[in-house]
Amino acid sequence: MINVTQTFLPPQEEYNKIVKRAWDKIWLTNRGELTLELESKLKKYLNTNSIIITNNGTIPLQIALKLLGKNGEIITTPFSYVATSAAIVWENCTPVFVDIHSEYLTIDETKIEAAITLKTTAILATHVFGNPCNIEAIENIAKKHNLKVIYDAAHSFGVNYNEKSLFNFGDVSTCSFHATKLFHTGEGGAMFCNDEELNEKLFYSHNFGHNGPLDFHGLGINAKISELQAAMGLTVFPHINHIITERKTVVDYYNANLSFKNFNGLKIRANTTWNYSYFPVVFESEQVLLKIQKALNEKKIFPRRYFYPSLNTINYINGEKMSISESIASRILCLPLYVGLTTSELEQIVSIINNNI
């Protein structure tokens, strides 16, 4: 069976060696030495100004919205994983959708200003499949209208834009370290912030609001990662360049062998060093997609309709029609992409797609 992704598992003995350090200290959570070491290594590798590791990739969005959203309207994209919109609603803010680019699949920055009202407090945009938004335009709009910018960069580990980490943009940037991601801690995530005062608020907010063991800065929640998760991250980390190289090999094979005259791939924004996190293809119609999906499934190959549906159509959100996002969501399919896919498996995937267009 070939799934859309497969968790990269380093040698178990490597994990056991690192996790033994937590056993020896009898310290399994509350920012032990493994968590601190992982933060230090990731900050250096990613060349970011800060990093706070968390227990999943959604709670950084919630914390950022709690601090910056102020129960207002949040301009956001309808083309993202449901966590993006769910976090907005969960934090008692109102999602206001703006449609997307048909090629980049990120929020269409030319439509943002028309959506701004007196209730707008922030822009929450997603770097879709690790493809950067138009950062310069979004930052200019935010400054003009005194808005905060939060980037859902769940897919963006290792992506650089204009030779800077994608995590260094916006007021807060977030990432997911879920088991399906390029870099993972089993379950986990992180948040990044350039402002020292805001970063301090993010930090205490992820630790119940603590100011030492007895005092409190303010309201907080438990978003701390465990030492067991940090151990997984420390075990995966030395393999990260191998992971990216292997994924690039798969992407290069798809790009060289798929019949793109009949469908489109993802257009990566200029000045981007991409991370090969996903391989989406957009078919002419949903009928063609379903035909391709059925043919692949019959051979026990399981791509994913990702992202589907368009978030403005979710039942707890009364979003306006987003014609481009809804169209793309109905026609997009992410193909299998992970370390360990063999050439024969790739040949089979490509053959089925090309022969069923």
pLDDT in tens, 190-226: 999 999 999 999 999 999 999 988 899 999 999 999 9
Residues 139, 265 within the same domain: no
Residues 54 and 193 occupy one common structural domain: yes
* Mean local confidence (pLDDT), 300-318: 96
Same domain, 171 and 293: no
> Is 3 contained in some domain?
no
Are 254 and 59 contacting, i.e. CB atoms less than 8 angstroms apart? no
Residue 41 lies in a domain: yes
The verdict on 244 and 104 lying in the same domain is no
User: Structural domain of residue 277, as residue ranges?
Assistant: 240-355
- Regarding whether 52 and 31 lie in a shared domain, the answer is yes
- The residues that bridge with 53 in the sheet, in sequence order, are 190
> 331 near 286, Cβ under 8 Å?
yes
Query: Does some domain include residue 246?
Result: yes
Q: How many domains does the chain have?
A: 2
Average of per-residue pLDDT across 321-332? 98
Do 63 and 161 fall into the same domain?
A: yes
Q: Is 57 exposed, middle or buried (0-12, 13-18, 19+ CB in 10 A)?
A: buried
| Domain end marker among 185, 209, 238 | 238
Q: Same structural domain for residues 103 and 76?
A: yes
Position 117 pLDDT exceeds 90: yes
Whether residue 342 is contained in a domain is answered as yes
Does 143 lie in the same domain as 83?
A: yes
Length of the chain, in residues: 357
Residue 12 burial by Cβ neighbours in a 10 Å radius (0-12, 13-18, 19+): exposed
- Look at residue 353 in the predicted model and tell me its pLDDT: 98
In-domain check, residue 350: yes
CATH of the domain at 230: 3.40.640.10
Cβ(277)–Cβ(45) below 8 Å? no
CATH number of the domain at 317, please.
3.90.1150.10
Tell whether 1 is covered by a domain.
no
Taking the model in full, what pTM does it have? 0.97
**φ and ψ at 121, to 5 degrees?**
-120, -25
Percent of the chain with pLDDT strictly greater than 70: 100
Of 217, 238, 259, the position where a domain reaches its end is 238
299 and 233 fall within a common domain: no
Task: Choose the final residue of a domain: 238, 262, 281.
Answer: 238
Average pLDDT, the chain: 97
Structure tokens at 317: 């959100």
pLDDT in tens, 96-115: 999 999 999 999 999 999 99
Alpha helices for 277-322 (secondary structure H): 286-298
Per-residue model confidence as pLDDT tens digits over 58-90:
999 999 999 999 999 999 999 999 999 999 999
Question: What is the pLDDT at residue 5?
Answer: 97
Residue 31 has pLDDT above 90, yes or no: yes
Residues 56 and 170 placed together within one structural domain of the fold? yes
Is the same domain home to 258 and 229?
no
pLDDT greater than 90 at residue 56: yes
Per-residue model confidence as pLDDT tens digits over 125-183: 999 999 999 999 999 999 999 999 999 999 999 999 999 999 999 999 999 999 999 99
Which residue, among 186, 162, 206, 161, has the nearest Cα to 62 in the 3D structure? 206
Query: Is there a domain that residue 2 lies in?
Result: no
Q: What pLDDT shows up at residue 262?
A: 87
Q: Is residue 314 part of a domain?
A: yes
> pLDDT confidence of 319, banded at 50, 70, 90?
confident
pLDDT at 198: 98
Let me know whether 179 and 61 are in one domain: yes
Per-residue pLDDT, 41: 98
